[in-house]
Amino acid sequence: MREPISRFLGDPEAERDFDAASVAVLPVPHEETVCWVGGTARGPEAIFRASPHLEFYDEQLDAEPYKIGVWTDRPLDVGGGAAAVLDRIESRFGAHMDAGKWVLMLGGEHSITPGGVRAAAARHEGLILVQLDAHADLREAYEGNPWSHACAMARCLDHVAELRSVGIRSYTREEADRIAAGIPGYRIVHAWEMTEKKLAELLVGIDDKPVYITFDVDYFDPSFMPATGTPEPGGGEWYATLELLEEIFLRSNVVAADIVELAPSAGLHHCDFSAARLAYKMIGLLQRKR
Ligand SMILES: [Mn+2]
């Protein structure tokens, strides 16, 4: 049994201490309301374990993103129920933002996102939430629980001015009715309509605005990312996704992000590696913007 790796990028030389770091990685191994296949509590650890095997040079960006300074927090205490966890996330996330850090939260299930969004929205007027996901997550409650991952975006809408959702390909009649009735500030690009034109429409009005990116890995096609609780066919592809992220980072002011719903599975270590690569790509895009 190998020792657990509790840091993103692992190698201490690839990190700086808290004061010198620009990025704070916040692991939140929260898993409570999963519907089918579990394992997201082990997501942060799996990403950490894969991350030292990344090439620290990014060949597309011609840069070494770790040089921005990446510090990893201790895993957040996820005891005491969802509401308590969200309060704890908001507090820790907010403290890192107040210390001038760009926060990257690693889940855990998607229900953690409202905690980070609350912290970011309190500090950035007019925050726009960009959601990459297979699921709309707009239920008011799921099995009586308003804090379920199936309600994550409904809870975020209480705090953000706008929500832009992309890659969506699964939701309920209730959510469809809600979308059809019109949600203020909401734009959706379904997975089957991810054309250049539609994606351009998705990003109208983001220029220079504060943005929080929530990245549910089930956004990706399950042929590429099978290690997630509810893998929906017909999802996003790697390079097109990087282009979309690049556009968002270049045009807006991305103030924080999260990557959620990785459910590490034996034999699918490429998924852990891909999630680590995604995290490192985001840090690289942040570094280039700065
Ligand atoms: Mn999802």
What distance in angstroms lies between residue 15's CA and the mean position of ligand 1's atoms? 31
Mean pLDDT of the region 30-55: 86
77/29 Cα distance (integer angstroms) = 8
18 C-alpha to ligand 1 centroid (Å): 32
Rounded to the nearest angstrom, the distance between the alpha carbon of 110 and the centre of ligand 1 is 7
Domains contained in the chain, number: 1
Average pLDDT over residues 76-93: 95
State the residue range of the domain holding 154.
Answer: 12-289
Distance 87 CA to ligand 1 centre (A): 22
Residue 1: inside a domain, yes or no? no
What separation in Å is there between the alpha carbon of 88 and the centre of ligand 1? Answer: 23
Q: How far is the CA of 31 from the centre of ligand 1 (A)?
A: 14
In a domain, 6, yes or no: no
Q: Ligand 1 centroid to 268 CA: how many Å?
A: 19
- The answer to whether residue 169 is domain-embedded is yes
Q: How many angstroms does the Cα of residue 218 sit away from the middle of ligand 1?
A: 5
Q: Are 33 and 258 in contact (CB under 8 A)?
A: no
Chain segment 179-210, per-residue pLDDT in tens: 999 999 999 999 999 999 999 999 999 999 99
Quote the pTM value.
0.95
Task: Answer whether residue 229 is part of any domain.
Answer: yes
- The CATH number given to whatever domain includes residue 105 is 3.40.800.10
Tens-digit pLDDT profile for residues 101-140: 999 999 999 999 999 999 999 999 999 999 999 999 999 8
Query: What spacing in Å lies between the alpha carbon of 232 and ligand 1's midpoint?
Result: 9
Give the residue ranges of DSSP H helices in the chain. 43-50, 82-98, 113-123, 152-156, 173-181, 196-202, 238-251, 269-289
Is 283 among the domain residues? yes
